[in-house]
């Protein structure tokens, strides 16, 4: 048996959208189960996101600390952001987020991993990129607002982030997934064997 996620869609008898927000919405579907029962499933509809694990020449990861209101914590995270435009190229979005949040650019981009953050209650798909050969971006820094006004920045060795995750001190999903995917890639075929930055992404198809 091949261990691989596969597309499938069960019959939907009815659907409604009881809430529409600025970036996301909530949908309720009446789904037919294998035994014929019809159940209601509520979930958040999300445009998708990108994250950037930016690795410098000293094997440090660029991280930012940001207040996250739903969990009432300041979390250390990797730069990340929404796919604001339907069909947006995720690499372009990742490059934009790295510039806007950290005023950094990168010359080498690879796909590190693709994940669904909370598949039982949200359709958000995230593509995490590995960015290397970092340098300061050109021009003025991006004008920040809201939570981003209070951002803190650091460059942290990979081993220290691994320790923090395993100690229960770091919780951001993109950071956790990105760091451990990096470690796994190094232990396997190496970073140069990662998928190219323009690799297909069936969860969020995009124009090349």
Q: Report residue 88's pLDDT band, with 50, 70 and 90 as the boundaries.
A: confident
Evaluate if pTM is beyond 0.75: yes
Q: Of 81, 77, 68, which is closest to residue 127 (Cα–Cα)?
A: 81
Q: Which residues are catalytic?
A: 148
How does pLDDT run across 126-160, given as a tens digit for each residue?
999 999 999 998 877 766 666 667 789 999 999 99
Pull the structure tokens for residue 118: 């909370």
Of residues 208 and 39, more confidence is placed in 39
Of residues 51 and 88, more confidence is placed in 51
Looking at the fold, whether 112 and 174 belong to one and the same domain comes out as yes
Looking at the fold, whether 32 and 117 belong to one and the same domain comes out as no
How does pLDDT run across 23-80, given as a tens digit for each residue?
899 999 999 999 999 999 999 999 999 999 999 999 999 999 999 999 999 999 999 9
State whether residue 120 is helix, strand or coil: coil
Residue 83 has pLDDT above 70, yes or no: yes
Tally of domains within the chain: 2
Q: Of 75, 80, 174, 74, which is closest to residue 118 (Cα–Cα)?
A: 174
Other Cβ atoms closer than 10 A to 25: 14
Model pLDDT, residue 148:
67
How does pLDDT run across 171-204, given as a tens digit for each residue?
999 999 999 999 999 999 999 999 999 999 999 9
- Which residues span the domain enclosing 27? 12-45
Looking at the fold, whether 174 and 76 belong to one and the same domain comes out as yes
Model pLDDT, residue 84:
82
Looking at the fold, whether 65 and 95 belong to one and the same domain comes out as yes
Looking at the fold, whether 88 and 30 belong to one and the same domain comes out as no
Looking at the fold, whether 119 and 158 belong to one and the same domain comes out as yes
Model pLDDT, residue 146:
61
The reply to whether 170 falls in a domain is yes
């Amino acid at each position: 048996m091949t261990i691989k996620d596969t597309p499938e869609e069960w019959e939907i008898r009815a659907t409604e959208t009881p809430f529409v927000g600025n970036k996301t919405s909530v949908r309720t579907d009446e789904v037919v189960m294998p035994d014929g029962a019809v159940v209601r499933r509520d979930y958040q509809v999300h445009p998708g996101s990108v994250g950037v694990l930016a690795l410098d020449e000293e094997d440090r990861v660029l991280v930012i600390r940001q207040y996250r209101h739903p969990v009432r914590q300041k979390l250390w995270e990797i730069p990340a952001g929404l796919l604001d435009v339907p069909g947006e190229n995720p690499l372009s979005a990742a490059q934009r987020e790295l510039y806007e949040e950290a005023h950094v650019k990168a010359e080498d981009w690879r796909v590190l991993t693709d994940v669904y953050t909370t598949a039982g209650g949200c359709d958000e798909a995230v593509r995490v990129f590995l960015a290397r050969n970092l340098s300061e971006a050109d021009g003025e820094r991006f004008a920040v607002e809201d939570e981003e006004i209070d951002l803190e920045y650091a460059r942290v060795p990979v081993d220290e982030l691994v320790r923090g995750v395993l100690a229960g001190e770091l919780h951001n999903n993109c950071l956790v997934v990105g760091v451990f995917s990096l470690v796994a890639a190094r232990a396997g075929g190496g970073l140069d064997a990662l998928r190219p930055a323009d690799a297909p992404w069936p969860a969020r198809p995009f124009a090349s």
